Amino acid sequence: MGRIVTVANQKGGVGKTTTAVNLGASLAAAEKTTLVIDLDPQANATSGLGIDPRPLELSSYDVLIGSREPVDTILPSSIDYLDIMPANRDLAGAEIELVDAQQREKRLNQAITAIRVQYDYIIVDCPPSLGLLTLNALCAADAVIVPLQCEYYALEGLGRLMETISIIRKDLNPTLEVDGVLLTMYDARTSLSDQVAQEVRENFDGRVFQTVIPRNVRLSESPSFGKPVLLYDARSKGSLGYLAFAKEYLEIGH
């Protein structure tokens, strides 16, 4: 049965979508059957895997509101072993439509239970908020990966996310784990990145991945070409970083 991993941080610009797309691609490169679920109305994971969200008639929105089964929405990517459940602009209305729905926070969990056996990994990309979409992702997940940029105010809001995870574990999803914090946008030329990395490791001892994702132009460019960095420039530091992260993730038994 596939492991469901939510990539979450309510702070924007920390590398959530970059991590979801490129971890998915790197796991697929290791021949692990992988599904990326785009739960962000901005649909950046969708476009980042080469799919234009604008003409899509079916998306994760339809799965959340219960009008379609996941199998109706899932599309293949350009990488073997990697599929995507895309998002489109309809998803922006899901939080409002689900406000009065029964079991509203467990819609995703209920919907994807049947497809877990088809994948080794299901990776969920969330919007930069702790709203109902992120809540659905956390209730469906076995574990959370928290991307954290190596910049000033890096720890801002992280405590709130951890508190939210604790509440969800207590009330809604008792088996939810924190797989770890992934340091992103690391710039070896600055002492600030080193300081932030050290502070995070001190505050979250044992829950920070050894792999650090560097700040990299090719990594930043690849979404505009609709490709994971592995396809855009396999030899770039960004690509090598995510390949190393996927290797570490597999080696520690996740």
Res 253: pLDDT: 72
Q: Is the pLDDT of residue 145 over 80?
A: yes
* DSSP string of the chain, one letter each residue: -PEEEEE--SSSSSSHHHHHHHHHHHHHHTT--EEEEE--TT-HHHHHTT--STT-S--HHHHHTTSS-HHHH-EE-SSTTEEEE---GGGGGHHHHTTTSTTGGGHHHHHHGGGGGG-SEEEEE--SSSSHHHHHHHHH-SEEEEEEESSTTTTTTHHHHHHHHHHHHHHT-TT-EEEEEEEEEE-TT-HHHHHHHHHHHHHTTT-EEEEEEEP-HHHHHGGGGTS-HHHH-TTSHHHHHHHHHHHHHHHTT-
In a domain, 183, yes or no: yes
Average pLDDT over residues 61-85: 96
Report the predicted TM-score, pTM, of the whole model to 2 decimal places. 0.95
pLDDT tens per residue across span 89-135: 899 888 888 887 778 899 999 999 989 999 999 999 999 988 899 99
Look at the block and give the residue holding tokens 């079991």.
103
Chain-centroid distance, C-alpha 54: 21
254 within a domain of the structure (yes/no)? no
In a domain, 251, yes or no: no
CB atoms near residue 115 (< 10 Å)? 17
Residue 240 located in a structural domain: yes
Residue 252 resides in a domain: no
Is residue 254 scored above 70 in pLDDT? no
- Per the domain annotation, does 171 fall within a domain? yes
Region of residue 211 (left: phi > 0; alpha: psi -120 to 50; beta: else): beta
Mean pLDDT of 204-230: 92
Domain holding 194, by residue range, is 3-244
Residue 207 in tokens: 């829950």
What CATH number corresponds to the domain at position 55? 3.40.50.300
On whether residue 123 sits in a domain, the answer given is: yes
Q: Does 36 score more than 80 pLDDT?
A: yes
Strands 121-125 and 75-76: unpaired
Provide the b/e sequence for 60-99 (b: ≥16 CB within 10 Å): bbbbbbeebebeebbeebebebbbbbbbbebbbebbeebe
Q: Indicate whether 253 belongs to any domain.
A: no
pLDDT digits (tens, 9 = 90+) for 38-47: 999 999 999 9
